[in-house]
Amino acid sequence: MTATGALNSSRLRASTIFPALVALVVLFGIPLTTDSFQTFQFANVAVFVVAILGLNLLTGYSGQISLGNGAFMAIGGYTTALLVARLGVPYALTIPLSGLLAAAAGVMIGIPALRLRGIYLALATFALALAVTPVLNNFDSFTGGHAGLNLNPAAPPFGLDLSNEQWLYFLCWAVAAILFLPARLLIGSRTGRAWMAIRDGETAATANGISISFYKTLAFGISAFYAGVAGSLQAVVLAYINPDSYSLTLSLSLLIGAVVGGLGSVWGPVLGGLVVVWLPYLAERAAGLHLGPLSFGGKPDIGFGILLLVLMYFAPAGLAGLAGRAWRWYRRLRRGSGGPADGESEMVEPEPVETAERQVEPDQMST
């Protein structure tokens, strides 16, 4: 390895380890410095981070628009609720099982969806999101109907000196961290490159020997697995489940979180989860504000829409894209104030949206 390559490698490791350490300190510090409500909200953030991670793999990397991932969350949520309430199965055992059942449903949906693409696929999954709540309410003897199912709150195990909210916080974020790693590895693997090739052009991907049907169905299955785990965690956190919780609004919230966080970005789901949970709360708090003759009293939806418009105006590539622009601006300031010169080797930060293109080496161009 050359000196330049070694320098770039060391900088890359430093740029990865340092943010990870900062994130670890922040995650451990939040439940120790916030009240029970805020800790509970951040536990919900982790739930949505898991769900948006799966949707980001499906839509952001493989290019398949889905408006029905809330239905897979319903499968995961009711799997946990029924196993715990009816059979007394421990919560921890139901979480992976919920993901596997949702993944099986995702594969079954993904196979017929191979014939659809673009807006037609979005409409098909939109119909799935519309159908899930009426179907669950129809089987009220099984699902509890509009009354829902009540679960016993998850208590800290092994006598840990934690409140229920703190235990749920650590549980949800531990699961989110565990699932973040394989998602990150998938993106950089052959599977991730195949997804991005399909997203960028199916004809070119087929010409390069990529099985469109296999990788599309795989993306649906993995995305559904993540949604199922998120639905299971949501049932554990709320200790209650109701068919009305899985309406179209939930699926749209997941898509909003993926887009606002940054489609095709590794860290976009984390930012999207924060937006989905905290933006409605902030909009509700701001509903009583008066801006001259304008008043939004009792109308938090208006404030929510305005805040979304402001976010997308200033961050059209999502919050992850905005963070990338801020980082590039910071680097330019460093160069202007005596940082690394333009000609020196410096690590290049990742773009918000990755591509499957491969650079051509000079010796290949000569041939």
Can you give the pTM of this predicted structure? Answer: 0.83
Range of the domain at 243: 34-288+295-337
Using CA atoms, how far residue 85 sits from 72, 78, 110, 233, in Å, is: 20, 10, 31, 15
Lowest mean pLDDT among 98-102, 260-264, 279-283: 279-283
Measured CA angle at 88 (ends 84, 90), to 5 deg: 70
In a domain, 22, yes or no: no
Mean pLDDT confidence for 341-357: 45
In a domain, 176, yes or no: yes
Token reading at 167:
């235990």
In a domain, 342, yes or no: no
Question: pLDDT (tens digit, 9 = 90+) per residue, 82-136?
Answer: 999 888 899 999 999 999 999 999 999 889 888 888 888 888 899 989 999 999 9
| Alpha-carbon torsion angle 119, 120, 125, 130, nearest 10 | 90
Question: pLDDT (tens digit, 9 = 90+) per residue, 223-260?
Answer: 999 999 999 999 999 999 999 889 888 999 999 999 99
In a domain, 12, yes or no: no
What is the identity of the amino acid at 298?
G
pLDDT at 4: 54
Please list the residues that pair with 294 across neighbouring strands: 291
Q: Produce one character per residue of 6-40: b if its CB has 16 or more CB atoms within 10 Å, e if not.
A: eebeeeeeeeeeeeeeeeeeebeebbeebeeebbb
Using CA atoms, how far residue 62 sits from 56, 197, 220, in Å, is: 9, 8, 9
When pLDDT is cut at 50, 70 and 90, the band that residue 287 belongs to is: low
Of 337 and 57, which is predicted with more confidence? Answer: 57
* CA pseudo-torsion sign 128, 134, 140, 144: positive
Please check whether residue 226 is in contact with residue 51, taking contact to mean a CB–CB distance below 8 angstroms: yes
In a domain, 349, yes or no: no
Question: pLDDT (tens digit, 9 = 90+) per residue, 37-94?
Answer: 999 999 999 999 999 999 999 999 999 988 989 999 999 999 999 999 888 899 999 9
Any residues with CB less than 8 A from the CB of 149 and at least 6 apart, and which? 81, 82, 85, 143, 240, 241, 242
Residue 281: exposed, middle, or buried by beta-carbon count in 10 A (0-12, 13-18, 19+)?
A: middle
Mean pLDDT confidence for 334-362: 50
Question: pLDDT (tens digit, 9 = 90+) per residue, 215-227?
Answer: 999 999 999 999 9
Q: Is 313 left (phi over 0), alpha (psi -120 to 50) or beta?
A: alpha
In a domain, 333, yes or no: yes
Q: How far is residue 270's CA from residue 50's CA, in Å, rounded to a whole number?
A: 9
Total structural domains within the chain: 1
pLDDT at 95: 95
- Tell me which residue of 228, 223, 236 sits closest to 169, measured CA to CA: 236
Please check whether residue 11 is in contact with residue 137, taking contact to mean a CB–CB distance below 8 angstroms: no
Q: Could you please report the per-residue DSSP string of 281-298?
A: HHHHHGGG-EETTEE-TT
pLDDT at 337: 63
Please list the residues that pair with 150 across neighbouring strands: 240
Q: What are phi and psi of 247, to 5 degrees?
A: -80, -175
pLDDT at 56: 94
Lowest mean pLDDT among 50-64, 145-159, 251-265, 344-358: 344-358
- Is 149 strand, coil or helix? strand
Any residues with CB less than 8 A from the CB of 204 and at least 6 apart, and which? 197
When pLDDT is cut at 50, 70 and 90, the band that residue 344 belongs to is: very low
Mean pLDDT confidence for 351-355: 49
Q: How many residues does the chain have?
A: 367
